[in-house]
């Protein structure tokens, strides 16, 4: 059998390559790192996380928690590596980023049916089966090749952002405290409280701080799901207090009251030596980040081991171009997977790579596809991305809003979501997903 070409060894590409190989399909996995790096990547490892170490909620009352459980049950490589390298983060699944990426790389490189080719892909293969999982930072030559492949359509672009990292030992714990919101789970977050006066001074400087140059960037084009903190601040003085600096459910043990505003830090590695500023995606100049973020009392002497960066995110007008299996409608030998399809988020990218690979493997084996129904998170996401009725298409996180309702009343949102997850998993267990 001719090998399937998978372009990109991020979460989607690594998952796709693994699912094909475990079904006996040879794979040629092409990855441009370390020969060529993107502005957001720093290691040669596959599956490198660049925006956060959190794969978000691990609870079945949350849609992404359901999606993760579906992937676990279907034998996802990414979820197996994540579970093996998780760090405590309350009800979320966070991972030691280096251990996680190294594990994925080792699994992929050691599989006898996967051949890794370290080179930049500059054109779509003219023949053979292909899964393009080149990610939101697709290199310019390949991006142009994809643009030329879809002359009837166009790319959509937005800018994604990564938050800064600080060392734990540089955080002033006399001005901070460990807690999880509403005391849910274990107290894994460092909370940095601010008085109204401290917040006012911080907000004023944040709004006035100098931004790094980002060509083509305008506030109105910022993707709402990963909005730079300074852009959010400019939308109103209280906006941050209802967003990433929301104090609800966090009582300062020194006062017994909720602070005016709270900056949360989340563990970024298993050792707990590095923390991520939650919700602080930014494209401020680096000296400005140090100056303004050091105005947060607990971070007055913070050591920044990585500053926030902005980077381009490129995705297809998928409802017009792709079907429910992430195949190109006009040429089904080519599939796309990951954030380039308009799925937003690490777990969602993994799910798209999984589904594209499973469908392709079954097609090569002469079997019918597995039609994941809309009642499952995996199916709902794929059907949304390929839904031609979605006119103003923008990247989408998985959510219960794209899953059909139960058809009967359940009291309480969490109870209703739990029932939706139960229904999804019962349906999933009836599906013939070969390779499990």
The pair of structure tokens assigned to 206 is 């944040």
pLDDT score recorded for residue 197: 97
* pLDDT tens track for 174-214: 999 999 888 887 888 999 999 999 999 999 999 999 988 75
pLDDT greater than 80 at residue 39: no
Q: Which stretches does DSSP call E strand in 45-143?
A: 54-57, 86-87, 92-95, 114-118, 130-132
β-pair partners for 4: 27
Q: Best-predicted range by mean pLDDT among 212-221, 276-285, 304-313, 334-343?
A: 334-343
Q: What proportion of the chain, given as a percentage, has pLDDT over 70?
A: 94
Mapping DSSP onto H, E and C, the string for 132-172 reads ECCCCCCCHHHHHHHHHHCCCCCCEEEEEEECCEEEHHHCC
pLDDT greater than 90 at residue 226: no
pLDDT greater than 60 at residue 150: yes
Say how far apart CA 153 and CA 316 lie, in whole Å. Answer: 9
pLDDT score recorded for residue 220: 47
Q: In what order do the strands lie in the sheet with 177-179?
A: 177-179, 189-194, 261-267, 274-277, 165-167, 304-306
The pairing of strands 261-267 and 189-194 is antiparallel
Say how far apart CA 40 and CA 413 lie, in whole Å. Answer: 37
Tell me the average pLDDT of the chain. 91
The pLDDT of 79-106, averaged and rounded, is: 94
Q: 430: helix, coil or strand?
A: coil
Where does the pLDDT of residue 356 fall: very low under 50, low under 70, confident under 90, or very high at 90 and above? very high
pLDDT score recorded for residue 188: 87
Where does the pLDDT of residue 413 fall: very low under 50, low under 70, confident under 90, or very high at 90 and above? confident
pTM of the shown model: 0.79
pLDDT score recorded for residue 51: 65
In 172-282, where does DSSP find H-type helix? Answer: 196-208, 229-234
What value, to the nearest 5°, has the Cα angle with vertex 394 and ends 389 and 398? 90
Q: Best-predicted range by mean pLDDT among 212-216, 272-276, 359-363, 393-397?
A: 359-363
DSSP state of 284: B
pLDDT score recorded for residue 217: 39
Phi-psi region of 213 (alpha: psi -120 to 50; beta: other; left: phi over 0): beta
The pLDDT of 140-151, averaged and rounded, is: 91
What value, to the nearest 5°, has the Cα angle with vertex 79 and ends 74 and 81? 130
Q: What proportion of the chain, given as a percentage, has pLDDT over 90?
A: 72
pLDDT greater than 80 at residue 219: no
Q: Which domains are assigned to the chain? A: 4-155+316-428 (3.50.50.60), 162-311 (2.40.30.260)
Where does the pLDDT of residue 172 fall: very low under 50, low under 70, confident under 90, or very high at 90 and above? very high
pLDDT score recorded for residue 395: 82
């Amino acid at each position: 059998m001719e090998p399937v070409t998978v372009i990109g060894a991020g979460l989607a590409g690594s998952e796709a390559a693994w699912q094909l190989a475990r079904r006996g399909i040879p794979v040629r996995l092409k990855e441009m790192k370390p020969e060529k790096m993107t502005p957001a990547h720093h290691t040669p490892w596959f599956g490198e996380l660049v925006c956060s170490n959190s794969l978000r909620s691990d609870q079945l009352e949350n849609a992404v928690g359901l999606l993760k459980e579906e992937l676990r049950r279907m034998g996802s490589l990414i979820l197996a590596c994540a579970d093996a390298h998780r760090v405590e983060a309350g009800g979320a699944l966070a991972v030691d980023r280096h251990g996680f990426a190294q594990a994925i790389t080792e699994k992929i490189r050691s599989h006898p049916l996967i051949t890794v080719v370290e080179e930049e892909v500059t054109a779509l293969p003219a023949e053979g089966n292909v899964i393009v999982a080149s990610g939101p930072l697709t290199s310019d030559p390949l991006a142009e090749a994809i643009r030329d492949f879809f002359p009837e359509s166009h790319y959509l672009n937005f800018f994604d952002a990564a938050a800064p990292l600080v060392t734990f030992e540089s955080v002033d714990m006399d001005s901070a405290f460990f807690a999880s919101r509403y005391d849910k789970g274990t107290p894994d977050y460092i909370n940095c409280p601010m008085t109204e006066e401290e917040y006012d001074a911080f907000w004023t400087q944040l709004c006035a701080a100098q931004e790094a140059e980002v060509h083509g960037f305008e506030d109105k084009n910022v993707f709402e799901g990963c909005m730079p903190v300074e852009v959010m601040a400019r939308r109103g003085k209280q906006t941050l207090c209802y967003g990433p600096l929301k104090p609800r459910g966090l009582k300062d043990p020194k006062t017994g009251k909720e602070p005016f505003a709270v900056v949360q830090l989340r563990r970024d590695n298993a050792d707990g030596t590095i923390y991520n500023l939650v919700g602080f995606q930014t494209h401020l100049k680096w000296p400005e980040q140090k100056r303004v973020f050091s105005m947060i009392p607990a971070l007055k002497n913070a050591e920044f081991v990585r500053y926030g960066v902005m980077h381009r995110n490129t995705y297809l007008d998928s409802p017009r171009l792709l079907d429910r299996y992430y195949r190109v409608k006009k040429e089904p030998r080519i599939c796309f997977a990951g954030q380039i399809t308009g799925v937003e988020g690490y777990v969602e990218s993994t799910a798209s790579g999984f589904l594209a690979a499973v469908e392709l493997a079954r097609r090569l084996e002469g079997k019918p596809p597995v039609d994941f129904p809309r009642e499952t998170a995996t199916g709902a996401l794929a059907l949304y991305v390929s839904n031609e009725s979605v006119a103003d298409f923008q990247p989408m996180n998985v959510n219960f809003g794209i899953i059909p309702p139960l058809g009967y009343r359940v009291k309480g949102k969490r109870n209703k979501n739990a029932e939706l997850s139960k229904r999804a998993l019962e349906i999933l267990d009836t599906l013939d997903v070969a390779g499990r």
